[in-house]
Structure 1
Amino acid sequence: MSVSKTMQSHRAKIMMRRIAAVLIILISIPNFAYATPATVIRVYDGDTLNVDVQGKTVTLRLYGIDAPESGQDGNVAATRFLRRLVLEHPVEFKVMETDRLNQAFAVVIREGKESSVNAAMVANGYAWVNPNGCKAEECPNWKEIESQARSLKLGIWSDYNVVPPWEFRKRQSKE
């Protein structure tokens, strides 16, 4: 097979994987009729962003998911993907919980989209569903989406030496 045909075949496989990811996302559409409108003004990493809400900056962690940490394989790719997905776009968010540090964990939906940014990060292979931090009704669907992304080798599942972020943090704290 020629190099050109091999590249076309590879591109076709990637496209089919992306289409499958989009279809999987569509099965996990939450209802956010009561969400807060905002504009994303900064993306810190693959699961943390700043939004502007009527002139006030609010930091949000994406609820129920965990993306690779700074210094971890896949962090740059996950951060870039989230930037492309939301930076400078209007969104709506619903805070699901706050932690002991008063960090807000939210489900975020880009204006005009049906599915959440949280689900998109998982479906495209840039985040794990947090096994201890995802208790909403969407979580079982997100876990299925994660399984599909793994089997399709999307994002961090394609060729990175992936370690779940919670294990990475635990290793870092011991050093």
Structure 2
Amino acid sequence: MKKLIYITLIFISNVFFSQVKGKIVGVKDGDTVVILLTNKTQETLRLADVDCPENGQPFGKNAKQFTSSQIFGKTVTFYRIGKDRYRRTIAKIFYDNDKYLSAEIIKAGFGWWYYKASRNTELQKLQDQAKAGNLGLWADKNAVSPWDFRESKKKKKVL
């Protein structure tokens, strides 16, 4: 029994935490991309540690454009962290000599550090710097986080 558990844990860790390479073939929004894997299958990746404005939200198109300018058409390396409620793969994506995409988005002011699901407090510092510099969405003094925006949309649907 212990051997079976051990083998299962090794399999799961290899599936979820192994380094994978692929080419970015689509950008759905600022924090969701589509990658073409070496076996010619596509996988939708939801970026870990960051939450970008929704497409219908101010700066949503800017966030998508920034993400696209950084990685579209490039071969990137990513690590699977888990799955979200929509069954997308949550991933940490690295590109151009180990730039961490989520950090770059936050640093440029096109996303929030997603503190509800991230323990990387360095991203809070990058967010504070972007905010202090009025970069990206922080140029709007009344910027609304994506999670608050989604919650307000749910409440409107109920009414």
Q: Same fold (TM over 0.5)?
A: yes
Q: What are the superposed Cα offsets for residues 86-116 of structure 1, whole Å, 9 maximum, x if unpaired? A: 1001100001121243221111011x32320
Of structures 1 and 2, the one with the larger relative CO (CA 8 A, separation 6+) is: 1
TM-score (norm 1): 0.75
Query: Which residue of the partner structure matches residue 64 of structure 2?
Result: 79
CA 1:160–1:70 in structure 2 vs 1: closer, same or farther (change >3 Å)? Answer: farther
Answering whether residue 31 of structure 2 is matched by residue 50 of structure 1, we say no
Query: Which residue of the partner structure matches residue 90 of structure 1?
Result: 75
Q: CA RMSD in A?
A: 1.5
Number of positions where the alignment pairs a residue of Structure 1 with one of Structure 2 = 139
Consecutive unaligned residues in structure 1, runs of 5 or more: 1-33
> Match for 2:146 among 150, 157, 165?
165
Q: Specify the code of the residue in structure 2 equivalent to 1:128.
A: W
Consecutive unaligned residues in structure 2, runs of 5 or more: 1-17
> Match for 1:151 among 132, 136, 139?
132
Q: What is the distance in 2 between the residues matched to 1:128 and 1:157? A: 10
Q: What is the distance in 1 between the residues matched to 2:68 and 2:91? A: 17
Query: Which residue of the partner structure matches residue 107 of structure 2?
Result: 123
Contact 1:73 1:161 in 2 (8 A): no
Answering whether residue 53 of structure 2 is matched by residue 68 of structure 1, we say yes
Deviation at 1:160, TM superposition (A): 6.6
Q: What is the distance in 2 between the residues matched to 1:60 and 1:118? A: 12
Q: What is the distance in 1 between the residues matched to 2:147 and 2:68? A: 22
Runs of 4+ in 1 over 4 A off after TM superposition: none
